[in-house]
Chains A and B, each alone.
Chain A
Amino acid sequence: MVPSADPAATHLAPLAFTVPIIVACLLLALGRRLPRWAVDGLATTTAAAVAGIDVLLLMAARDGRVVTWAGGWTPVDGTTVGIALVADPLGVGAALIAAILMLCALVFSWRYFDSAEAHLHALMLLFLAGMTGFVLTGDLFNMFVFFELMGAVAYALTGFKIEDPTSVHGALSFGVVNSLGAYLTLCGIGILYARTGELGLAQLAVALRGNPPEALLVTAFVLVLTGWLVKAAMVPFHFWTADAEAVAPTPVCLLFSGIMVALGVYGTFRVYHVVFAPVLPAPGVQCLFLVFGAVTAVVGAVMCFAQRHLKRLLAYSTIAHVGLFLLAFGTLDAAGTEGGALYVAGHAGIKSALFLMSGVILNRYGSVDEIDLHGRGRHAVLLPWLMPLAGLALAGLPPFGLGMGKAVAEEAVATAGGWWAVAVFVLVSAATGGAVIRAALRIYRGTGRAPEASPPGTEETSGTDEEAEVSGLLQRVPLTMLVPIVVLLLGALALGVVPGVSEAFHAAASRFTDGAGYVARTLGAPAPLPAPTAPSGWTLSGVALSLLSSAMALAFALAALHHDRLPATLRAAARPVAPVLRGVRALHSGHVGDYVAWLFVGVAVLGAFLAAGAL
């Protein structure tokens, strides 16, 4: 047995999710008797404490992994009956992002929910506990349990504005589709347990070592992945995302979009690298994620550009970016994982800041409809500059961290054989950034034609009926709303300019892709270090491509705003796109039965794809 580097560090991992659960219970019990400031203070302090624990854990896990066996049931000669928590740098990093975003969301909601009782804070802390547990556990069934905790709390948070008709509708679709995905995952876990008698990720890997990729294992892999990929909003499992994120309270959207969907991607690749990498041949899996990632990115980007409801626009842009995450992580090597992880971190900062801005817009102007708000924000001071800047950063503007992640990921994807995927990266990030810039220019500068009354019965959701989340509209933006926005943007900037970030992410990515090392370290054998590869930060081509996508984003935005002034040939070329777009939009019907049917289509296609590659 190899002792952990620092015995004190092994106590940190359980604290990271038990502390928020205990405080959440206290808040539920005492919330009615406490004044609002005490509830806010307690919840915010707890989120800060979890962030602190995550930082300590990250320092301890820097040189490897911190393994904690619940109840001290450590393995003897490589066999164990215990349940482990395994903290590796990438997992703890994800937990840290979740804690920081939670901190920002809670500070933002000090003024945001005038009427909120302690329920909101308790639910938010439980949500944080679910997300933290999901990334720290080293046991497949516990992953499912934390996934369900995260899920059930998320449905409740989505439907938090219980008086709002769209809110309860979105929450129900989210709940049904996600629960069904989770049950398919549980079936996969059941099949794996039947085959091996194990539930721990490391123990499963040992039991499956040397197995041929038989049909039963492919089925189990597809089923386990389904739940994670529903959470990750991969096409065709993505339908719930826009419905839920459009209607959830803004601080909740920030967490959904900034980190929750990325955790789905995390779960997928954690299970692959540790358990299935030796069983399923890599080329088939790579091909799978290249195809599904590209389709997700394109569908998300097209739907994003077509929206007028600001929060739906951001939700579809998240789907587009999830596609890009899948492309990056789907290379299955350290370079691609490094790019993907940087991209996730940079995206968390920018997208969360954008969601908070949409919350500010909702509470100042009483609407999140881009057309309806035309020119309404002309007198605002700071946001007319911050929002287009965030749009450019979303498209990859250097030196923001998102741009660096995009550059590293593009290079890795090109090396892995998908040169065309670089074009997908550039176009998709330009389209999502362009949509944000378009909305910002329209709202804050009144660019483009003033709106006409839209014809009734159109197949789109407008954002005019969205209920403000404060009593009465705000006259000016309070500091508690502005500071989180600025902090998030600065954080995303710091990722791209602080030296050593790329090296740290590369080290974390090499640990994440080294499944054999994970297994050895968890079961107490000496883990050989993965062969060092060179980290890649900003490169000349990366900067050039990022500048290109930012410029294209600006061009897309201006073209959309001044489409009546475009040359006739360009407008004629765009005409055949309209019916295709109408078709894609019609598929997003808001009907929960349709969404479930698509879920099964997705499972069947995933299975067929993997079976063709593996059997």
Chain B
Amino acid sequence: MITAGVDLGSTYVKASIVQDGKRVGFGVSPTGHNHDQTSRKVLDQALEMAGLKFEQIEHIISTGYGRRVTSLAQESISEISANARGVQWLGSEIGVRTIIDIGGQDTKVIAMDDNLQMINFAMNDKCAAGTGRFLEVLAKVLKVPLDQMGEMSLRSEQPVDITTTCLVFAKSEVANLIFQGNSKEDIIAGIHRAVARRLVAMAKKVGVENVVFFDGGPARNIGMVRAMEKELGMEMYVPDMPQIVTATGAAILAAEKLEERSQSS
């Protein structure tokens, strides 16, 4: 059985293909204006990786913020459920209790019980502080590629303090810090710490319990992971491809829906 999940996030569109309980392909591309086109593009990437054809996919579920604006999928589901399902599938052996998922425009913390069932969640959707966008915009101000932020921050000896919350204010604060002669490494480490503090404060409201699963695009940033671990005071589990956990969850759900249907008919 071959199914696919397409996660239309605010910043990136992700696709994942699952064949008989195994992830066989994925694709990632920045969200453009045409959601149909972008979601087809990432799905084609995933198909190429898996060596499959579009016609072979039996069921597609879309998720994420733009899940209703693509005609590609037969069904849609909220990103919270898809993410939780992805984590259940990936982390069934490690016993995940808390999920921290950083997206481009929103951040979610999901609490789970022993059976990996969702019991509570919190979401930051009004403010860009503490989201992937925060890192992205400040990387631009620093003229540092987003992918290099993590490594650079590890070389910092004395992270600076970012005192502002709002991204708009942080932009001028960072520009000022550069002007004052602080090293980019120290500034980036400070940015990571500022984001980590916000996220950990939010996570603590929901309740943090071991094991903590960290996913979403910024989880690829090693500096962000280290800063989070320091603020949390515990280690986190970061999957290989943190960006496509939600898309994979949607693909798994698609497979389950098909099975349900074949059983009932």
Q: Do A and B bind each other?
A: no
